């Protein structure tokens, strides 16, 4: 070739600049040249056509973002295969974790589901009705303080909701608990 030696990185020249003495490929050329190689390698790692296609897509998205970096030192093919390996491993880890989370969720959901016997449900409904009757016998604002505290509100929130002083909330709750125990005979059941 007229005594001049030209080094090409992986294929034909797309653009050459004075800053870059080595020949750089356009993204389209790099894609056309390496797509099949990357797909075959991804498929051999994933053993699933759909997952391999996902890996290839992610690899070429990363190539598009890092085209100049990927072509440094003429190592585009090695860069693509390294990225393919990393993306495939990440995807396998993600799927493994998701499968473990799903299995854990199913197991915990199965443990939480209890078959409630009709007698137990009747007893539970009777206790709820008795607790409501007891609460209805209590005077305001003691009753409301007790109910709001049971709902998880802070003393400040209870005071604001009932338009009472925050310093009175604690004593009203304590008084309400004593009165409820006296009227109901048992608390928390």
Q: 20 with 10: CB under 8 angstroms?
A: no
**Domain map (residue ranges) of the chain:** 27-112, 118-184
pTM to 2 decimal places: 0.47
Closest CA to 42 of 65, 28, 59: 59
Asked if pLDDT for residue 4 goes beyond 50, the answer is no
pLDDT beyond 60 at 32 = yes
- Output the pLDDT for position 169: 92
- State the pLDDT at residue 114: 62
pLDDT band at 24 (very low <50, low <70, confident <90, very high): confident
* Mean pLDDT, range 135-157, rounded to an integer: 88
- The predicted-structure confidence for 97-137, as pLDDT tens digits, reads as follows 888 888 888 887 777 666 667 888 888 889 888 888 888 88
Q: What is the pLDDT of residue 186?
A: 59
Q: Supply 115's token pair.
A: 């078959």
State residue 77's pLDDT score. Answer: 87
Evaluate whether 135 touches 143 at the Cβ level (below 8 Å).
Answer: yes
Question: For residue 185, how far is the Cα from the chain centroid?
Answer: 46
Non-local (6+) Cβ contacts of 12 within 8 A are 29
CATH topology of domain 118-184: Arc Repressor Mutant, subunit A (1.10.10)
CB 148 within 8 A of CB 173: no
Helix (H, G, I), strand (E, B) or coil at 153: coil
| Res 57 pLDDT > 90 | yes
Token match 């009705």: residue?
129
CATH of domain 27-112: 1.10.1740
DSSP symbol at 15:
B
Instruction: State residue 112's pLDDT score.
Output: 67
Asked if pLDDT for residue 174 goes beyond 90, the answer is yes
Instruction: Indicate whether 83 pLDDT > 50.
Output: yes
């Amino acid at each position: 070739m007229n005594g001049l030696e030209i080094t090409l990185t992986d294929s034909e020249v797309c653009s050459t600049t004075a800053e870059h003495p080595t020949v750089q490929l356009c993204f389209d050329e790099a894609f056309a040249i390496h797509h099949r190689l990357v797909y075959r390698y991804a498929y051999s790692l994933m053993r699933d056509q759909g997952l391999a296609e996902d890996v290839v897509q992610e690899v070429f998205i990363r190539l598009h973002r890092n085209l100049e970096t990927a072509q440094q030192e003429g190592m585009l093919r090695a860069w693509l295969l390294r990225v393919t390996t990393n993306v495939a491993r990440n995807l396998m880890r993600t799927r493994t974790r998701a499968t473990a989370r799903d299995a854990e969720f199913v197991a915990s959901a199965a443990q939480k589901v209890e078959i409630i016997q009709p007698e137990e449900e009747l007893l539970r409904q009777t206790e709820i009705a008795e607790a409501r009757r007891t609460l209805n016998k209590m005077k305001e604002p003691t009753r409301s303080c007790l109910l709001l505290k049971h709902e998880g509100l802070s003393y400040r929130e209870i005071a604001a909701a009932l338009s009472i002083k925050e310093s009175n909330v604690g004593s009203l709750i304590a008084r309400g608990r004593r009165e409820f125990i006296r009227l109901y005979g048992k608390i928390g059941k």
